[in-house]
Structure 1
């Protein structure tokens, strides 16, 4: 009887735990996904750390051999360091020490109310990040808004950037032909429209997942809007800076990108004489994640030249 009672207790405890986990996933699926992503980063060998830059706490991951050549990858608007998790294994396997910072306002970094969230100020944070970690010269990559940021870094601190990589990058003086308010969706219909901009074949989201995305979007909308409003002024655009870049530049673009269309990648290529443009067929704005198997070997080949 005692053994039977013990098994019944264990079974009840297990069912209660499963029910609690199920409820947590139902109520806050994004938190569960975030925990899973952090676990994946940990098991990939990534070390999670933070450093103070210009008075702000900046979180970052570091992975790969400590003595390897350094690559720093900067995420885009609304993104985070984990967005690079599909691409970084290619660099690590090639022997690179990879740093993935969360920009202020994003991921696990501080979200200060007194920060502008402009690309110019984010670029200063990236340079400060180099200084805080003692990184004298790096191979630098940026995706979307992150691409804009690293263009500014490369133009203003060319001695710090050995090679530059731009992935579906913003930065040109171009007015978007899509509704920029979709970056802060307020309804399931707007979320569907935004996903269609990001991906050629967006997944169908369960209602409870969409609800949690909208809740999170509402919480962080002020950061996205402040950054977007700054970008839309056009004051930090890079058209006039790109022809003066001297370092080798790799431009990677999703063929069917609707956020920053391929025509923008082609123009950047024209403005940088020594650049190389690699177009990824049937891929959209999320190319570094969704098409990493095609992009990874290209990036490694470029860095090894």
Structure 2
């Protein structure tokens, strides 16, 4: 049987496309992974949006009914808005409208050189974000560094926060017992050590993916360094101010978190008498992604009260 030239041409084009995708995946696997995350967010019903705050372009997602009560979610150090991709399903199931932003210096937002990347300045940006969208009062959630930012907002603007959710949150006056330089890895060994801190059973990272992660880390480590330097100064810690919070607070912690130990969550719970404290066994610092099936129902129940 003869094969037509058209069929051969189409087959050749398909093979070339497959080869091109293969080369891209090998050379820039993070770009491919990010595109898949963007697609996952789009399929979930989250709409990608942009706004300008203080002269900087900020990216965010919004999802859920327009007339539903708003929830604003703040990611952690080195994170991005897509980190909420799993928990958003439970938040939307609570009849909420979710807003997930990329902080300045992270994700698809701008990386301004003249920004401090401190907790107070990031918190001011989140408040400006709420103002720009006309969000007078919100349920606010923060993860890790984002939890610290969320605490700062709840302390400074308590009338703006209806409920507060903290996931494996930073913010207390306690110095890390691990090497903070691991958040700016320069070698594959350091990347492996960071993964072991972040999750109980990290997968083996192929060499070409590790290489691209290290490239990205090298290009953007100045943001992480500024943020870490500011946090390690300890002047913006919240220990003395948490007892003043009056809104309902949910504190959720991975039972095997090595970045922020469970003892930090216990102390936050002690300092906020009306708070609820949930420990998720077997989960690490990435619990909101890797253990969302256990955390999600607790979030949904909290928002439903």
Give the alignment's TM-score, normalised by structure 1: 0.99
Q: Which residue of 2 aligns with 1:267?
A: 267
Q: Which residue of 2 aligns with 1:220?
A: 220
Q: Which residue of 1 aligns with 2:120?
A: 120
Q: Which residue of 2 aligns with 1:85?
A: 85
The C-alpha deviation readout for 1:142-171, integer Å capped at 9, x for no partner, is: 000000000000000000000000000000
Q: Does 2:255 match 1:255?
A: yes
How many pairs were matched up?
Answer: 305
Question: How far apart in 2 are the matches of 1:10 and 1:50?
Answer: 38
* Deviation (angstroms), 1:6: 1.8
Question: How far apart in 2 are the matches of 1:222 and 1:99?
Answer: 27
Q: Which residue of 2 aligns with 1:54?
A: 54
Matched position secondary structure for 1:42: helix
Q: Does 2:31 match 1:31?
A: yes
**What are the equivalent positions in structure 2 for 1:88-237 lying under 5 Å apart?**
88-237=88-237
Question: RMSD between aligned alpha carbons?
Answer: 1.0
**What are the equivalent positions in structure 2 for 1:66-77 lying under 5 Å apart?**
66-77=66-77
Question: How far apart in 1 are the matches of 2:154 and 2:298?
Answer: 21
Structure 1 portions without partners, runs of 5+: none
Q: Which residue of 1 aligns with 2:17?
A: 17
Give the alignment's TM-score, normalised by structure 2: 0.99
Structure 2 portions without partners, runs of 5+: none
Question: How far apart in 1 are the matches of 2:13 and 2:80?
Answer: 36
Question: How far apart in 1 are the matches of 2:76 and 2:193?
Answer: 19
Q: Which residue of 1 aligns with 2:285?
A: 285
Contact persistence 1:52–1:132 (CA under 8 A): no
Question: How far apart in 2 are the matches of 1:288 and 1:281?
Answer: 13
Q: Which residue of 1 aligns with 2:41?
A: 41
* Deviation (angstroms), 1:2: 8.8
